[in-house]
Structure 1
Amino acid sequence: MDEYSGSMGSDADVAALASIVGEVEGAAAVVRAGQVAEVRALAAAGQLAARQAAGSPAVVRAHDMALRSVAAELGGVLRVTDRTVQSRIDEARDLVEHYPATLVAWETGRITRGHVRVITDAGSVLVDASPERRAEFEAAAISRCERDTPNRVRSEVEILAERFAERSFTDRHRDAAAERRVRVVPGAAGMSDLIATLPTVIADGILDRLTQQAQIIVDAREPGNAGSAFGARGAGDAASAGDAEPDRRRIDQVRADVFSDLLLAGAPALDPTASGDGEGSLGAIRAQVQVIVPALTLLGVDDGPADLVGRSPIDAETARCLAGDTHSWARVLTDPVEGTVLAVDRYRTPWPQRRFLRARDQHCRFPGCRRAAIRCEIDHTIDAAKGGPTALWNLAHLCQRHHSMKQFTRWKVRQLPGGVLEWTSPTGRIYREDAPAPPVSFTPASIGTTAVDEPPPF
C-alpha cells in the first residue's frame, strides 16, 4: 500500500464512506421535503386566517386576531410560542406567494434552505417592484445561488436586488429608521445580548464614544494595574480606594460597563418634561426587573440560580445584590405538600390582590408565554361585564397580545382551583396551564395567615 492510499484508508473504508455519504444525501432529501411541506402548510394557515377575516368591518383587527388564533393552535402542536408560529407563517406566505421559483428550486434540491434565506432577505427591497421585475431578480439570484454556498453569494445577491429595486436607498433607509428598536436576546450562564437597531451612523458613533471613554479609563490605571475602584464587581459598585481590587478588565469589558452605567443612570439629552432651567423627570426613572430568589439562595446557603421572570436564570451573587438594594419585595406562603401559593405579604404596596397574583403567576398565563407579570394586564377569566367578580380565583395575568386574543377569537379559558387555567382552542384541543412552581416556601407559623378569596366549587 502506498503512502497516498494508506492515508485514505482501505477500499472497504472508501466503500463505507460512500455508503454514509449516500445515507446523508438521502436523509437531507427527506428533511428538505419535510421543510418544504411545512412551509406550504404554514402558508395555507396564513391564507386561511386571511379568508376568515375577509369582509370584516374591522379588517386589520379581525385579520390579526384570526392569525393569532391560528398561530396559537399550531403552536400547541409544534410546542413553540404562538408568536414564533405567527412569524413563521408570515415568512412562509412571503416565500410561497412572492418567490415561487425559489421554492421550486429548493424543493428540487438545486439550492438549499440557506440560499432561500439569502434570496428572500435580499428581495425585501423589492416590496414595491412589479411582479415582472421580482421574477427577473429571482431567476438571476437562483442561477447565482446554484453555483456557490449561501455565505459566498450573499453580497452579490444583495447588490443584484438593489439593481431591481424601484425605490432609492435613501427612501428605504428612511422607512427602515422608523423601525428602530431595542430588544433583549437571552443567552447562556445568566448573560443576554442587548440589541439596538439604529441608523448605522448613530451606531458607529455610539461605539466610537464608548471606545474613547473606555480607553481613558484604561489609560488612567495606576502602575501595576490597580488604579480603579471599579474592579470585578461591575458597574456602579463604588468601593473605597483602599478596598479596591485591581482593575484588570479588557477594553471590551470596560466598554460594556460604561454602556450599562450610561443607560441605567444617565439622563436623556432631550426631555419633554423639563421646563425652563429645571430638570425633567426622565433622568429620575430607574430600571425595574422582576426577580424570583429562593430563600436559601438569598441567605447564602447555596448558590443556585434565581429567575429573572420573562427572561432567563441569573447568578446568585447578582440576585443577592438586587435583593439587598431593593425597596420592595414579596414573601410567598406555599402549601407544604402541593406547593400551591396560599398567600403573599409584601412591604410598601397598597394592592393586596395585585401582589398576590404577581407572586402566583410570575408571567403571562397563556401556554408557552414568558412575558413577566409586571409587563402584563390582570384579566378577569369570567368577564366583569358578564358578572365575573374581581376575586383572586377569577383573575390572572395575560400579556396584551393574549388578553386581546381571549377577547376577540374563539380561544376560551376557565380557571380551576389553585390558579390552574384550562385553555380550549378553536379546534377543541385543551391546554392546561398550571400555576408556576413556587420559588420560596415558608411554614405557616413564620408569617401568619392571610385570607384568600374562595373560588366557586368545580
Structure 2
Amino acid sequence: MFESMATPRDLVALARERSAAVRRAEADVMVIAYEWAVAHPAREDGADAAVFHSPVGFEPISGDGTPEVNEYAVAELGGALGLSTDAAKKLIGHALELAHRLPKLWARLTAGEVPVWRARLVAEATIHAYPALPAEGVAWIDSQVAPFIEKMGRAAIDRLIERAMKLYGLATAGDDDAPSDTRHVTIVGERDPFAQTMQVHAELDIADALDLEQAVAAGAAGLKAAGCEESLDVRRSLALGELARHQTALDLAGAGAGDSTVERTTARRVDLQLHFTANVEPDGSLSFGATGHLENRQRLVLLEQVRRWVGTSHTDVRILPVVDLNSSLATERYEPTDRLRRQVLLRDETCVFPHCTRPSRRCDVDHVVPFDHDATAEGRPQPGHTVTENLATLCRGHHRLKTHTGWRLDSPANGVFEWTSPHGQRFRRDRHGTTDLTPAAI
C-alpha cells in the first residue's frame, strides 16, 4: 500500500501525520456536535429535551446549566456519524459539558492538543457524578485536569471526582464508613402529608430483581385483561401492591429453630427465549446444535444447560410453538395476533431504526404504512394491512420520531427497511445491520 515509503523512518513520519489528522478530525466532530446542539434547542419548558431514559426515570445528557437539545434532532446527527441515537446523545452531551462546564479542557481539545477520548472520560465523569457536582466543583476539576490530561487515565479521573466531592462537602459511596453491600429497600415517608402516594427505592440481587420484574409485569398484564384502564406505570404499581398483600414467600417466621432446611413452596420461573438450529438427519431424525442463542440476555447457551434446567424440579418450563420467520401472517385487526407479534419480534431482533440496538422485545410493533381505522366503515381499501411485511419493531423513541417528524420509512421487502431523514440522508436496515445509502453529494 505504501510502496513509496522507502524506510522505517518514512513510515513513522507517516504514522505521526495520520495520527495528528485523526485527532484533528475527532476534535472537529466534537465541535460539529456542539454546533448542532446549539442550532437545535429544546423548547423553553424542556418538554422535548433529549434525555437518557431508564426504568427509574431519566437523566439529562449533560450537566446542570448546559443548554437543552431537541430530542428529535439527535437522530439526524447520529445517522450522519454512523451512531445509534443514544450514542449520538452521549456525544452531544459530552460536547456541551466540555464547552460549558469544562472550558479549559474544551479549549485544548478544539486546538487538537489532547485526544478526544480522554476529554470525554472527564465529561462522562462530571455529568454522571453522584451526588451531582456543583458548578464550582466541576470548575475545580477543569483547572486540575486540563494541563495534565495526556497523563491521566480513568482511575486518576475517578480520584479527582472523589476529591472534588470531599472538597465541596459531598459524601461519596466510597467513604470508609459506607456499607459494602448496597442492597436495600427504602419506603420514603417524609413527603407531603396529603400526598396519596409514597416512593419505594430498592437495590436487589440480580436474580431477585428479575423475579420481581416478571411478577410485576404479569400482574400489570392481568389487571389490563381484567379491564383496568390505567396506564402501564399505574398498573405496575398496583401489581406491586397486590404482591405485598398476596405474597407467596416462605413462612420464615413459622420455621422452627431446629429446622435444617426449608422447602421452596413455588418454582422459580424466569422466561428465556432460546433459539437452537435444527437439522434433519439422513434417517429422518431431528438434531440440534450444541450451542444456541439466549435472546433476551444476548449471550450463547449450551444445549446441555437447557437439558439441566428442564430436569430440575425448581424450573417452570414452557414450550412455545416454532415460528417460521419466512412465512407471511396477517389479521384484519389493527393489533397483531400474539403469533404475528412474536414472528416480527424474532425477525427484527432489535429496533429497526438505523444503528439502534434496543432489543425487539422492549419495542413497539408498528405499521410501516399506517393502518386506516376508518377505511372499512367508509368503504375504502385498507392501505396499511396488519401483515408481516408491513410491521416493524421500533423502540418508543424512534416510534415517536417516525410519527411526529420528517423521517420517512419504507419496506421494499419483508424484514428490509429503508429510512430517509429530513435532511435527505438514506439508510437501509435489515438482518445484517445498517447500510448507509446516502449519495456522496447530499
* TM-score after normalising by structure 2: 0.58
Task: Identify which of 139, 144, 169 aligns with 1:140.
Answer: 144
Code of the residue aligned with 1:36 in structure 2: it is A
d(CA) in 1 for partners of 2:341 and 2:391?
9
Query: 2:290 matched to which residue of 1?
Result: 303
Q: Does 1:46 align with 2:24?
A: no
The alignment status of 1:356 with 2:343, answered yes or no, reads: yes
Distance 1:323 1:378, change over 3 A: farther
**In structure 2, what is the equivalent of residue 289 of structure 1?**
272
- Computed over aligned residues only, the root mean square deviation of the Cα atoms, in angstroms, reads 4.6
In the alignment, which of 376, 386, 391 is matched to residue 391 of structure 1?
386
Larger proportion of helix = 1
- Find the aligned partners of 2:286 and 2:207 in 1 and give their Cα distance: 28
1:82 corresponds in structure 2 to: 85
Q: Which amino acid aligns with 1:169?
A: L
Cα distance in 2, alignment partners of residues 434 and 138 from structure 1: 44
Task: Identify if the C-alpha distance between structure 1 residues 321 and 69 changes in structure 2 by more than 3 Å, giving closer, same or farther.
Answer: farther
Instruction: Give 3-state SS (helix, strand or coil) of 1:86's partner.
Output: helix
* Contact 1:264/1:287 (8 A) holds in 2: yes
Residue 285 (structure 1) shift: 7.4
Q: Does 1:411 align with 2:380?
A: no
**Hey, what's the Cα distance between the residues in 2 that align with 1:145 and 1:370?**
32
1:322–1:44: structure 2 CA closer, same or farther, 3 Å change rule? farther
Q: Hey, what's the Cα distance between the residues in 2 that align with 1:48 and 1:101?
A: 23
| CA distance 1:404–1:29, shift in 2 (3 Å) | same
Alignment of 1:96-111 (within 5 A): 96-108=99-111, 111=114
Residue in structure 2 matched with residue 169 of structure 1 by the alignment: 170
The equivalent of 1:73 in structure 2 is 76
Query: 1:36: how far off?
Result: 0.9
Contact 2:354/2:429, CA 8 A, preserved across alignment: yes
User: Which of 222, 241, 244 is the matching residue for 1:272?
Assistant: 241
Confirm or deny that 1:201 pairs with 2:179.
yes
Within the candidate set 365, 387, 393, 2:352 is matched to 365
After superposition, the C-alpha distances for 1:60-106 in whole angstroms (9 at most, x for unaligned) are 22656974443322333333322212211111221122222112224
> Unaligned 5+ residue runs, structure 1?
1-15, 177-198, 207-258, 335-339, 438-458
Greater relative contact order, per chain length (Cα 8 Å cut-off, separation 6+) = 1
Residues 327 and 63 of structure 1: is their aligned pair in 2 closer, same or farther, counting only changes over 3 Å?
A: closer
Does residue 157 of structure 1 match 2:160? yes
Check whether the contact 2:109–2:116 (CA below 8 A) recurs between aligned residues. Answer: yes
1:325-344 mapped onto 2 (5 Å cutoff): 326-333=317-324, 340-342=326-328
Shift of the 43–330 alpha-carbon distance from structure 1 to 2, 3 Å rule, reads: farther
The one-letter code matched in structure 2 to 1:150 is G
- Residue of structure 1 in register with 2:94 after alignment: 91
Identity of aligned residues (%): 21
Cα deviations by residue, 1:279-308 (Å, 9 ceiling, x for unpaired): 379x88732233332223995454354362
Is 1:29 aligned with 2:20?
yes
Distance of 1:109 and 1:367 partners within structure 2: 30
Residue type at the aligned position of 1:358: L
Query: 1:382 corresponds to which residue?
Result: 369
Q: 1:278 to 1:326 in 2, by over 3 A?
A: closer
Contact 1:67/1:86 (8 A) holds in 2? no
SS of equivalent to 1:422: strand
Whichever residue aligns with residue 274 of structure 2, its letter is: V
Query: Aligned residues, how many?
Result: 326
Question: Partner of 1:120 in structure 2?
Answer: 123
